[in-house]
Structure 1
Amino acid sequence: MPTKHCRPMLASLIFLLASIQALAADTQDYATPLLPSGADPWVIRRDGVYYYTSTSGGRIELRRTIDLWHLADAAPVVVWRAPASGPASTAVWAPELHYIEGKWYLYFTAADVRHNDDAHRHVFVLESASPDPTQGHWVERGMLKTAHTGIDGTVFQHAGRWYFVYSAYVGDHSDLVIAPMANPWTLAAPQVDIARPTYAWEMRGGRRILEAPEFLQGPDGKVFLSYSASACWSDDYALGLLHADSGADLLDPASWRKSPRPSFATSLRSGIYAPGHNGFFKGPDGRDWIIYHANGGPDWKCTARRAPRIQPIGWTAGGWPDFGEPGRPPAERASGR
């Protein structure tokens, strides 16, 4: 009977509307963090559910919710703990959850407890076949074989191909290096350095650092990589932006161009300092959002007081992302989003 077929459709519509309303709620509260602490935050949305993770010490935790504004109500679930020894036994940083070809993958940074220094930091991969990443078993797929030691690995798909990007320790500075992927835990060749610190705002806090790269697709197909620049203990820690044309060879360094100024930086007006280590995700209506960590006061350094915040982003008529400023998202632009 017709009513029989309408019931699941009606239930799906109600769920979608509830999800949209949940993300749209409290729209004037973008300056308030979702949690009191949560460095290196990450969000992915799948099947109407948001999954959140962040740096949590010697373990990886996931939270599951349909309402990010009430993330604090979602109990964290520990899905992996660092072993007592070995190459991934300490300094577990910046986990990212990705869904690739029917399985969940967690990419994270870690080091050997015997050598907790930059010369021994690497990116590792976990895999789960469970439909719900907060449940089920996680398999350790090991360390990605990068050309340099480094941190903050991320993956993205473009034009049918998967890529891995990370912050590589190259001499006395950190560069962004990209590589194609043979599978979710194996890199292919070549591994290419596409950006290094060149501007003064990328060298604050006594270090020359580009870290935490994140992929964003523009409405016209343009490819963007945001990154965090300078030392995380500096109030000048900020987001920079690389871009490449939609049809460009992403493994050619010449394809990438760097914006000369920060795209997202400390806002004295909002009282939000050192915004960085962001991620991007889509809301139920398809709009792009940014999640990032920041401090709520000056000179708070690089501690557990860094807290996650979210806000929608806009797109210019020319196809460029407009992040607004921390705590103050941009007005909706005429960009088809």
Structure 2
Amino acid sequence: MGKRYLRSGALIGAALCLNAGSAWAQADSPAADVGSYTNPLLPSGPDPWITQVDGTYYYMHTQRDGITLWRTRNIADLANAEQRKVWTPPREGPNAHLIWAPELHRIGKSWFLYYTATASGFSDDAHRGVFVLENKASDPLSGTWIDRGKINTAHAGIDGTVFAWRGKNYFVYSPYLGPDSGLAIAEMKNPWTLKGREQVIAMPDQPWERLDGRQILEGPEFLAGPRGDLFLTYSASPCWSDDYALGLLRAAPGANPLDPKAWSKSPTPVLHKGNGVYATGHNGFFKSPDGKESWIIYHANAAAGMKCTLKRAPHIQKFGWTADGRPDFGLPVPEGVAQKVPSGTR
């Protein structure tokens, strides 16, 4: 098996240390009760993502005109977090506009930002792709971001993510396959290059994945199960649907992620509208600061008919696991209802 170089905040239980000399580093202090929070965390935040590094959270979401990073030790207090716009797209070229779904990952000694973009002069699916930036600084809010170009996927597509599994490193995204958007996976040669054959592992074959005029699976995200299972959540149906919801793929312990037959799909959504919250989708995962709790972040609308706009806002909530080792997200927590902050928050 190849050398494991990828360590991502999306990997449940991962712990990466920033340079001890960083101005952000803080001495350990006793945990304190910092109160409660209510959803949403921000008034706007479609396609939210969190990278967690040794108790520090880096947050980002779709802004369409560039990429901003937020940094905080209390994710429930995101509205008061430090923030900095770290990248603006070029005026022309294959990654010039419609910047979507950014994700920050730590790979080796560098930071990498994966994002979706569309070529200048176009707005159609055929001219979209997943691109990557590299920053070799220890602090992702400083340093220089190097454009590593477009990921060499087999198809035009969106919503790329990366993860490490059993000594190998994988890239998953949502390719456009005729009238459908599916999910495909490939092994990585390095953080910006795929190797070997790309495999389609899921297509929109369920009624709840084919609503409101489009057949869509998108926004794949990795989650390691407590029994060694590999899970991928994804968002189903178009983002403008009130029924935009999360689906779940599972590969059993020891399975080859590149084998489409290794993946089984939940027959129903695992997170969907409810409690006055609509269009629950495009999620990420993180742990509480003390590592004892599993949490999900996703975007949602506050009312029916709000469609796919920048008004989609970030929600977080704790989740558990079923007796057979599957994630149990429950229903969306109602907006404005006080919830306890993640355990160990200071």
1:296 aligns with 2:302: yes
Q: Alignment length, in residue pairs?
A: 309
Aligned residue in 1 for 2:29: 14
Instruction: Find the aligned partners of 1:255 and 1:123 in 2 and give their Cα distance.
Output: 25
1:320 aligns with 2:335: no
Deviation at 1:285, TM superposition (A): 2.2
1:272 aligns with 2:282: no
1:83 aligns with 2:90: yes
Aligned residue in 2 for 1:232: 239
Question: 2:115 pairs with 101, 105, 108, which one?
Answer: 108
Aligned residue in 1 for 2:36: 26
Q: Residue 56 of structure 1 aligns to a residue in which SS?
A: coil
Deviations, residues 10-38 of structure 1 (Å, cap 9, x unaligned): x85416x25xx45xx416x3xx2000001
Instruction: Find the aligned partners of 1:247 and 1:103 in 2 and give their Cα distance.
Output: 29
1:251 aligns with 2:258: yes
1:310 aligns with 2:325: no
Deviation at 1:281, TM superposition (A): 1.1
Q: Residue 300 of structure 2 aligns to a residue in which SS?
A: strand
Q: Residue 79 of structure 2 aligns to a residue in which SS?
A: helix
Q: Which aligned pairs between 1:1-337 and structure 2 lie closer than 5 A?
A: 12-14=27-29, 17-18=31-32, 21-22=33-34, 25-26=35-36, 29=38, 32-267=39-274, 270-286=275-291, 287-327=293-333
Deviations, residues 24-82 of structure 1 (Å, cap 9, x unaligned): x416x3xx200000100000110221000000121100000011111111243111101
Report the AA paired with residue 309 of structure 2.
Answer: T
Q: Which ranges of 4 or more aligned residues in structure 1 deviate by more than 4 Å?
A: none
Q: Residue 216 of structure 1 aligns to a residue in which SS?
A: strand
Q: Which structure 2 segments of 5+ residues have no match?
A: 1-25, 338-346
Aligned residue in 1 for 2:7: none
Deviation at 1:109, TM superposition (A): 0.1
Aligned sequence identity (%)? 54
Q: Which structure 1 segments of 5+ residues have no match?
A: 1-10, 330-337
Q: Tell me how large the CA RMSD over aligned residues is.
A: 1.4
Structure showing greater relative contact order (alpha-carbon pairs closer than 8 Å, 6 or more residues apart): 2
Report the AA paired with residue 310 of structure 1.
Answer: I
Q: Counting helix residues as a fraction of each chain, which structure ranks higher?
A: 1
Instruction: Find the aligned partners of 1:143 and 1:263 in 2 and give their Cα distance.
Output: 32
**What is the TM-score of this pair, normalised by structure 2?**
0.87
